[in-house]
């Protein structure tokens, strides 16, 4: 039986019915080439089966699984929050291929819907919905990471175009993206948050060069991105010139929320694999190992309750930093545990590639850096949640 999707009116389904519907579609479609990618393509493993994952993205698009929570007026399906959580959970449980356009679907699209014009939505949302146009995020620069307001890449108006010069860095998947949303300085002489704008820049042009940065995991997920007289048309700006900070921060608000719960289903699976390894090699009898496994299990439950609590409170506030700080450290510790459990064997590998456990260990070192480092989360919590005095500014 083929499970129809677009024609299913989601608001007519109970959560249980929706879960059965999502499960059935995934069971029917995660087969063949797609099933060969089960458990693959995640962090540190992004180069695996990229073409298959692009085809999968389009498969999802045809069936209406992209933009599930977007309003129907923008081509989405208006799914409720609980339906979106269920979809994310079932997706992770089915070990469906890792997605290739998280930035487009979950970051840029809601930003366009919130801050963009009708024309911009009409132009860009369909390519995200059908899985054909991929996006990357051009925020960080060599001197602007935690201090994003120090952006130096500049854009000046030339006739009916913006001309962009500067460098971005750590641009995830820029080398396989069609467009970049970038924070750039459009007012000469401006400093800090003022004078920034949020531009949409096509990647396929002579003025844009991406250079892959090979990571410790062996994969090249992110890039240095150079803009040398790169161009984009004048209307490729979200918000007014000088309003870039507001739009950029609005986008970051969309980074949290539902995807956190899906991420935890992935964590649950990783922990289950680790428990199997410990049982298989007899280490599960070691009281210290048992204690570390129990602590990991407890941490996972805490994360779930905290994510549900912050979602229930509506707009994610500074307390979202609790979640980021907690999961990043938890995951990094899990990476250490899986290597410890394997003893010396955990450090060696026969294949040219690292094992998935080794990739987990190495990639999780970056969890405490991206999306706001541990130190930045602690500053946010100290100043904005606990009300402590602000850190001294130079
Ligand atoms: C895997 C990965 C993917 C990424 N993908 C993207 C992407 O797609 N697009 C993009 O734009 N960026 C991306 N980034 C960049 C990421 O956002 C930055 O790495 C992050 O914001 C930290 O900035 P930084 O690396 O410049 O470090 P810095 O800001 O230079 O920080 C260096 C150290 O100083 C500490 N520090 C800085 N300021 C303070 C302070 N005020 N108080 C206390 N300590 C402080 C930091 O915690 C850190 O330990 C990615 C990073 C990683 C690791």
Give 62-71 pLDDT, tens digit per residue: 999 999 999 9
Does the CB atom of residue 84 touch ligand 1 within 6 A?
no
Q: Is the pLDDT of residue 139 over 90?
A: yes
Give 308-353 pLDDT, tens digit per residue: 777 665 556 677 788 889 999 999 999 999 999 998 888 888 877 8
Q: How far does residue 29's CA lie from ligand 1's centre (Å)?
A: 38
Q: Is the pLDDT of residue 304 over 90?
A: no
Q: Give the pLDDT score at 67.
A: 95
By the 8 A CB rule, do 211 and 223 touch? yes
Residues 6+ apart with CB under 8 A from 334: 267, 270, 271, 274, 296, 360, 364
From 182, 251, 370, give the residue whose CB has the most ligand 1 atoms within 8 Å, as the site to mutate.
Answer: 370
Find the helix packing angle between 320-341 and 356-363, rounded to 10°: 140
Mean pLDDT of 145-164: 97
Mean pLDDT of 30-41: 91
**CA distances, 284 to each of 47, 280, 313, 332, 335 (Å):** 33, 8, 39, 20, 17
Q: Give the pLDDT score at 316.
A: 60
Q: Is the pLDDT of residue 42 over 80?
A: no
- Among the listed ranges 9-13, 57-61, 336-340, which one has the minimum average pLDDT value? 9-13
> Ligand 1: which residue has its CA nearest to atom 12?
140
- Among the listed ranges 83-87, 148-152, 194-198, 243-247, which one has the minimum average pLDDT value? 83-87
> Ligand 1: which residue has its CA nearest to atom 45?
375
Q: Give the pLDDT score at 48.
A: 86
Q: Give the pLDDT score at 254.
A: 77
Average pLDDT, the chain: 91
The C-alpha atoms of residue 25 and residue 1 are separated, in whole angstroms, by 10
Does the CB atom of residue 167 touch ligand 1 within 6 A?
no
Q: How far does residue 45's CA lie from ligand 1's centre (Å)?
A: 21
Residues 6+ apart with CB under 8 A from 105: 66, 67, 99, 128
The C-alpha atoms of residue 235 and residue 162 are separated, in whole angstroms, by 9
Q: Give the pLDDT score at 258.
A: 65
Does the CB atom of residue 339 touch ligand 1 within 6 A?
no
Q: What is the CB neighbour count within 10 angstroms for residue 64? A: 20
Q: Is the pLDDT of residue 204 over 50?
A: yes
**Relative to the CA of 174, which ligand 1 atom is closest?**
8
DSSP string, 293-338: HHHHHHHHHHHHHHHHHHHHTSS--TTHHHHHHHHHHHHHHHHHHH
Backbone angles phi, psi at 111, to 5 degrees: -70, -40
Does the CB atom of residue 364 touch ligand 1 within 6 A?
no
Q: Quick one: what percent of the chain has pLDDT higher than 90? A: 74
Is 353 labeled as catalytic in the residue annotation?
A: no
Q: Give the pLDDT score at 156.
A: 98
Q: Is the pLDDT of residue 24 over 70?
A: yes
Q: Give the pLDDT score at 2.
A: 43
Q: Which of 102, 164, 184 is nearest to 135 (CA)?
A: 102
Does the CB atom of residue 145 touch ligand 1 within 6 A?
yes
Tokens, residue 376:
């930045």
42: DSSP letter:
S
Does the CB atom of residue 376 touch ligand 1 within 6 A?
yes
Q: Quick one: what percent of the chain has pLDDT higher than 70? A: 94
Using 50, 70 and 90 to split pLDDT, how confident is the model at 44? confident
Q: What is the reported pTM?
A: 0.93
Q: Give the pLDDT score at 1.
A: 38
Q: Specify the residue for token string 């948050």.
A: 193
Q: Please report the beta strands in the chain, taking only residues with DSSP state E, as ranges in sequence order.
A: 135-138, 154-158, 161-169, 179-185, 196-202, 208-213, 222-233, 237-238
Give 209-232 pLDDT, tens digit per residue: 999 999 998 889 999 999 999 999
Does the CB atom of residue 366 touch ligand 1 within 6 A?
yes
Tokens, residue 119:
């024309």
Q: How far does residue 260's CA lie from ligand 1's centre (Å)?
A: 20
> Ligand 1: which residue has its CA nearest to atom 2?
370
Does the CB atom of residue 124 touch ligand 1 within 6 A?
no
Mean pLDDT of 69-75: 94
Burial letters for 30-39: b for 16+ Cβ neighbours within 10 Å, e otherwise?
beeebeebee
By the 8 A CB rule, do 76 and 67 touch? yes
By the 8 A CB rule, do 177 and 170 touch? no
Q: Give the pLDDT score at 145.
A: 96
Mean pLDDT of 183-210: 97
Q: How far does residue 328's CA lie from ligand 1's centre (Å)?
A: 14
Mean pLDDT of 58-62: 97
Q: Give the pLDDT score at 136.
A: 98
Q: Which of 57, 90, 255, 357 is catalytic?
A: 255
From 150, 173, 373, 388, give the residue whose CB has the most ligand 1 atoms within 8 Å, as the site to mutate.
Answer: 373
């Amino acid at each position: 039986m083929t499970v129809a999707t677009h024609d299913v009116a989601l608001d007519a389904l109970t959560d249980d019915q929706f879960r059965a519907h999502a499960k059935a579609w995934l069971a029917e479609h995660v087969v063949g080439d797609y099933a060969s990618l089960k458990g693959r393509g995640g962090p540190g493993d992004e180069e695996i089966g990229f073409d298959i994952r692009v085809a999968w993205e389009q498969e999802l698009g045809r069936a209406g699984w992209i933009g599930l929570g977007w309003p129907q007026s923008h081509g989405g399906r208006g799914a409720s929050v609980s339906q979106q959580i269920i979809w994310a959970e079932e997706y992770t449980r089915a070990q469906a291929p890792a997605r290739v356009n998280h930035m487009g679907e979950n970051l840029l699209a809601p930003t366009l819907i919130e801050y963009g014009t009708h024309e911009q939505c009409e132009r860009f949302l369909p390519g995200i919905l059908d899985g054909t146009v991929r996006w990357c995020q051009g925020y960080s620069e060599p001197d602007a990471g935690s201090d994003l307001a120090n952006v130096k890449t500049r854009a000046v108006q030339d006739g009916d175009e913006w001309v962009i010069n500067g460098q971005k860095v750590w641009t995830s998947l820029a080398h396989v993206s069609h467009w970049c949303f970038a924070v750039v300085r459009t007012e000469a002489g401006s400093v800090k948050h003022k004078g920034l704008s949020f531009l949409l820049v096509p990647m396929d042009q002579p003025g844009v060069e991406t250079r892959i940065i090979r990571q410790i995991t062996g994969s090249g997920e992110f890039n240095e991105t150079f803009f040398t007289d790169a161009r984009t048309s004048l209307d490729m700006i979200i918000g007014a010139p000088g309003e870039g900070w507001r739009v950029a921060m609005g986008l970051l608000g969309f980074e949290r929320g539902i995807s956190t719960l899906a991420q935890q289903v992935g964590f649950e699976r990783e922990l289950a694999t680790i428990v199997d390894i410990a049982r298989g090699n007899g280490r599960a009898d070691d009281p210290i190992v048992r204690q570390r496994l129990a602590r990991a299990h407890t941490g996972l439950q805490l994360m779930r309750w905290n994510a549900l609590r912050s979602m229930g409170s509506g707009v994610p506030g500074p307390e979202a930093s609790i979640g980021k700080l907690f999961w990043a450290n938890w995951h990094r510790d899990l990476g250490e545990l899986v290597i410890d459990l394997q003893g010396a064997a955990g450090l060696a590998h026969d294949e040219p590639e690292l094992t998935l456990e080794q990739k987990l260990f190495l990639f999780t070192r970056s969890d405490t850096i991206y999306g706001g480092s541990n130190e930045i989360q602690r500053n946010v919590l100290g100043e904005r949640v606990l009300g402590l005095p602000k850190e001294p500014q130079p």
